[in-house]
Structure 1
Amino acid sequence: MHILMVGAENDRLPNCKVGGVADVIRDIPYALSGHGLTVSVVVPDYGQEQLTRHFIADIAVPFRQHLETASLWLVESSEGVNQYVISHSLFSDNGGKIYCDDGANRPFASDATKFAFFSASVCEIIEHRVIDNLDVIHLHDWHAAGVSVLAKFSPRFVYLKTLKLVYTVHNLALQGIRPFNHDESSLEAWFPTLNYDGHQICDHQYPHCYNPMRSGLNLCDVIHVVSTTYSFEVQETSRPDEGFFGGEGLEHDMRLAAGQGRLFGILNGCNYSAADKDKLSYSEYLTEAEKCIFKWMSKSNLIETKHYIAHQRVSNWKALKEKAIVSSVGRITDQKVLLLMQKSANGIVLDDLALVADKFNSNIVILGSGDPYIESQFMQVMARRDNVLFLNGYDQKLGDTLYPLSKLFLMPSSFEPCGISQMLAMRDGQPCLVHGVGGLKDTVSHNETGFVFNGESLVQQVENLIESFEQALSLLSTNESQYNVISRNAESARFEWHGLAQEYISKLYN
């Protein structure tokens, strides 16, 4: 069986990662190959200089009333997996960045055009059998969903129509919505002769708009979401005021797919062979953090307040006795930290956690970047609380070495389709405190491998988060032997790709 994986990111390649989808597309092909499958992977060529490209073919692609030329390159072939990129100026014109930011007035405009062309290029490669002997086309997130639209509605793609289409949803919150017409970034501008059924691919809230995410759900043979619990959550209507995030407007389509037996929840895996044994001591970590702060400072002629405060905090901690660390690594977004941003008598909930941590002689280290407003709020907490360090950026080594150094990992996501950070923390023997949603519920067992809180409303969730946080640190402080049992259980938990790949084969591909 030959699978073609299609997506926007692939961490097997340099500078081709933004989120967790890149980890999946990096790892699952080799796990499938271990079961005897042949796997090809194709992503856009964002102009990475480090790639060694071997020319395969030029492809003529009808797009926006022109015949564009894209080029297919093989960049790696090993262990039964072929890695390809497709090059065109649309992909590399953004300075090597994978995604553009068009602002609130034209959301997804540049990216939607780019990935529509990418999808069209993939369809041409398949139809002309440049990559041949395929059995399954596996599309990842809205960026690749255009393949399903062309496969369904374009009479040109005869061979493509005979292949099985599988669609994985990694992030339901991002759907790539654009108008059907009257805009240069619209479905009819990209494919003016396409005779499509708008009822199947329109957005529910904005029926004059094309929704790639919904298109993938309705037009593909099999739908995959990245945890069992999340496969049930997406069938329910989101209730943000109550702190519940489910189908994000697509719950009807998810329920339809489930009723047809097309919806499956399979967890993502973790790569255990890549466990970083290069551990840093507390003082070595602070020195490494200081180096990163200087690196981030150097990107601007003016010293940003967040980096100045962080450097002062590191310098102060260096002169003080070592304390236990509570850590958090990830994107600074509403999804991840909505609960930490809720107002409280002490400022925001992160302030409350800092006060609890201080009671147990612990420091909080947060590493990540994202929403500027949330970043500003976290910076202000750092200014108010001597035991909080907010490292507002990202560095691979800084993240990898924080996992084994910390005593407790904090992941209070409001929704989490799967999550990888909790698996990485557990891999290094760090118990996690998580919100019992999605993949977090499926990977962390309360008082066995970590700590889990829930709540029927935002208020309840905040209360239970603070209570669980205090209980976890109290256990660490008063019964370290029992805490170490939980730590060892976390370290021994396994979410191996090899076993999960067998589920892909039996549920998604066969």
Structure 2
Amino acid sequence: MKKHFLFVAAENDGIANCKAGGMADVVRDVPRQIAEFGDRVTVITPSYGRLHHRAKFIEKIKFSYRGQEDEAELYEVTGKKPHERIRHFVWHHREFRPGDIAHIYFNDPDKPFYTDTLTFSRFGAIVAEAIYKGVFDKVDIVHLHDWHASFLLLLREYHERYHALKKIRMVYSIHNLAIQGIRPLENDYGSLQAFFPDLNADHERIKDPRYLDCFNLMAIGIRFSDAVHTVSPSYMIDIQQPSNPPGFIGGEGLEEDLKNAAEEGRLFGILNGCNYKGYHQPELGKFFLTALKTTLRWLQMADKKYKAHFLAHTGEKIAALLEAPPTMVCGSVARLTEQKFFFFKEDPSLLATMLDDLEAKGGVYVLVGTGAPEYERLFRAMSRRHKSLIFINGQSEEVIDGLYAESDLYIMPSLFEPCGISQMLAMRNGQPCLVHHTGGLKDTVRHMETGFAFDGDTFAEKKTDFIKVFEAALEVFFNDKEKWQKIREKAAAERFTWKRSVKAYYKELYQIKVPEKAVGN
């Protein structure tokens, strides 16, 4: 009998304009593979006050929130790649608004998670009621993604109306353990008591292990789901150990919860996959021309005026490279955050040394991304000091695709990495990667075989090893072309397929049989 899966998430790149990070890729790709196995998938997110535009209205639903009856609207959205066994929906409510991060999340530095929990607590109440009323027909498996979806587990556990949902298997994927969704238990408009005043929750079971007057939605996902999933095997091991920053980022206060889940047989580490067919391959040899055109186009945009001088500076650098191409291109594509570039922020001399080594050999480092203001300032300043740094402070799919296709070495010095997709995309194009030997990067890059990895017992040792490994990579690239080619070929031959990953989902997370006539990548 065919199964029906319900995916509940904050992001879904299966539809347009609903992506902020890697979670959206997973929520896009896993349903496609499930559909290839012959089963049905329904994917739901909030509307953020915009995704319901030009979508098909389905129905209204009444639900309880803040002790009062409320109402929301369900819309069906056309997927980027329509499939007869996949349906995409958004719930719209007048209070759902676009955030300042990818028009999804809000940045509340003074009250972390405040605005986002206003959205996702209401979203959880809507989803619980919709499942209870059978809005999506019979659901066999509910797959929840990160803390934003944990309100559903909270209601299933403690709301009398939704105890019946315990008959449905609910699994929980951790995409980034460091972002946990922590809010007060009471005495705040953005507290659990305010969201659900009639919820008789056991505070001891839901509280944060460090902030005892708060509840922790990541912890709730781990404690109350039927299975807990990390997006790589090595990250699953890492997060069962306490963090010791900056040298090691582990369980971030939830390591005991994760060890308990492992002892109960509920914790599984399954590597994310990557698409190996049907992806756009840009025209080779056009990267710098595309980057220049994009930069010049940004200069005309009103929202780029505050960085116009820097864009002009970047454009000048790129134009010069069209006249005199570099001998080597190193690249990075990432959100500019502590997770991705803490090594460079904590010690800018690491980046300076790397750039000096490249400049001496006629190479460049191209970094594409936006993010935290302090990281943007760092890279803008370094770009002005070093002609070998091309900092493209924006987001362009054309530029990103071109960089993945045409770089010689991909740089990924993540402080921690639950899985990582960038290294897979680079390797897919035969591009070796230089990575920190942590989390999912351990599971995908083999040192001196498919790429290069730096490590160390202390943070200081890691920094020293980063320069050592980078210089070793330069030595191979410039002086041992045969070895470099072998590394490239081995990187390109790796296959981290979604078919393999989702088969493991069926067996371990969903605990159902994989359809015998499975097809897919």
Please say whether Structure 1 and Structure 2 have the same fold, judged by a TM-score greater than 0.5.
yes
Unpaired runs of at least 5, structure 1: none
Provide the residue aligned with 1:172 in structure 2: 177
Provide the residue aligned with 1:27 in structure 2: 29
Q: Map 1:262-277 onto structure 2 (within 5 A).
A: 262-277=266-281
Provide the residue aligned with 2:519 in structure 1: none
Provide the residue aligned with 2:132 in structure 1: 127
Q: Give, as a single letter, the amino acid of the residue that structure 1 aligns with 2:103.
A: K
Worse overlay, 82-91 or 440-449: 82-91
Between the aligned partners of 2:495 and 2:53, the Cα distance in structure 1 is 33
Between the aligned partners of 1:351 and 1:397, the Cα distance in structure 2 is 28
Provide the residue aligned with 1:319 in structure 2: 323
Between the aligned partners of 1:481 and 1:338, the Cα distance in structure 2 is 34
Match of 1:98 among 104, 125, 138: 104
Report whether the alignment pairs 1:341 with 2:345.
yes
Q: Kindly indicate whether the alpha-carbon contact (under 8 Å) linking 2:310 and 2:380 is maintained by their aligned counterparts in 1.
A: yes
For residues 19-41 of structure 1, give each alpha carbon's deviation from its aligned partner in whole angstroms, at most 9, with x where no partner exists: 00000000001111222322111
Let me know the Cα RMSD of the aligned residues. Answer: 1.7
Q: Map 1:97-496 onto structure 2 (within 5 A).
A: 97-102=103-108, 104-241=109-246, 243-281=247-285, 284-297=286-299, 298=301, 299-343=303-347, 347-496=348-497
Q: Kindly indicate whether the alpha-carbon contact (under 8 Å) linking 1:5 and 1:137 is maintained by their aligned counterparts in 2.
A: yes
Report whether the alignment pairs 1:72 with 2:71.
no
Q: Give, as a single letter, the amino acid of the residue that structure 1 aligns with 2:18.
A: C
Structure 1 counterpart SS, 2:57:
strand
Change (3 A) 1:295 1:49: farther
Structure 1 counterpart SS, 2:41:
strand
Shift of 1:302: 4.6
Unpaired runs of at least 5, structure 2: 512-521
Provide the residue aligned with 2:60 in structure 1: 58
Q: Kindly indicate whether the alpha-carbon contact (under 8 Å) linking 2:48 and 2:92 is maintained by their aligned counterparts in 1.
A: yes
Q: Give, as a single letter, the amino acid of the residue that structure 1 aligns with 2:506.
A: I
For residues 258-316 of structure 1, give each alpha carbon's deviation from its aligned partner in whole angstroms, at most 9, with x where no partner exists: 111110000111011133222241xx322322232234333244554432321222233
Q: Kindly indicate whether the alpha-carbon contact (under 8 Å) linking 2:52 and 2:75 is maintained by their aligned counterparts in 1.
A: no
Q: Give, as a single letter, the amino acid of the residue that structure 1 aligns with 2:205.
A: Q
Q: Kindly indicate whether the alpha-carbon contact (under 8 Å) linking 2:157 and 2:163 is maintained by their aligned counterparts in 1.
A: no
Change (3 A) 1:326 1:178: same
Change (3 A) 1:84 1:205: same
Q: Kindly indicate whether the alpha-carbon contact (under 8 Å) linking 1:35 and 1:502 is maintained by their aligned counterparts in 2.
A: no
TM-score with structure 1 setting the length: 0.95
Shift of 1:49: 6.1
Structure 1 counterpart SS, 2:383:
helix
Between the aligned partners of 1:175 and 1:254, the Cα distance in structure 2 is 14
Q: Kindly indicate whether the alpha-carbon contact (under 8 Å) linking 1:154 and 1:194 is maintained by their aligned counterparts in 2.
A: yes
Match of 2:14 among 12, 15, 23: 12
Structure 2 counterpart SS, 1:91:
coil
Q: Kindly indicate whether the alpha-carbon contact (under 8 Å) linking 2:291 and 2:399 is maintained by their aligned counterparts in 1.
A: yes
For residues 57-99 of structure 1, give each alpha carbon's deviation from its aligned partner in whole angstroms, at most 9, with x where no partner exists: 2111211232211112222462412211111122235588111
For residues 375-420 of structure 1, give each alpha carbon's deviation from its aligned partner in whole angstroms, at most 9, with x where no partner exists: 1111111111111111111111110111111100000111000000
Between the aligned partners of 1:65 and 1:207, the Cα distance in structure 2 is 25
Q: Give, as a single letter, the amino acid of the residue that structure 1 aligns with 2:224.
A: L
TM-score with structure 2 setting the length: 0.93
Change (3 A) 1:3 1:475: same
Q: Kindly indicate whether the alpha-carbon contact (under 8 Å) linking 1:14 and 1:50 is maintained by their aligned counterparts in 2.
A: no
Between the aligned partners of 1:229 and 1:504, the Cα distance in structure 2 is 17
Between the aligned partners of 1:4 and 1:280, the Cα distance in structure 2 is 40
Between the aligned partners of 2:143 and 2:325, the Cα distance in structure 1 is 52
Q: Kindly indicate whether the alpha-carbon contact (under 8 Å) linking 1:342 and 1:348 is maintained by their aligned counterparts in 2.
A: no
Tell me the matched-pair count. 503
Structure 1 counterpart SS, 2:265:
coil
Shift of 1:50: 8.4
Between the aligned partners of 1:303 and 1:361, the Cα distance in structure 2 is 27
Between the aligned partners of 1:502 and 1:321, the Cα distance in structure 2 is 45
Structure 1 counterpart SS, 2:96:
helix
Between the aligned partners of 1:24 and 1:62, the Cα distance in structure 2 is 31
Q: Kindly indicate whether the alpha-carbon contact (under 8 Å) linking 1:310 and 1:391 is maintained by their aligned counterparts in 2.
A: yes
Q: Kindly indicate whether the alpha-carbon contact (under 8 Å) linking 2:67 and 2:198 is maintained by their aligned counterparts in 1.
A: no
Identity %: 39
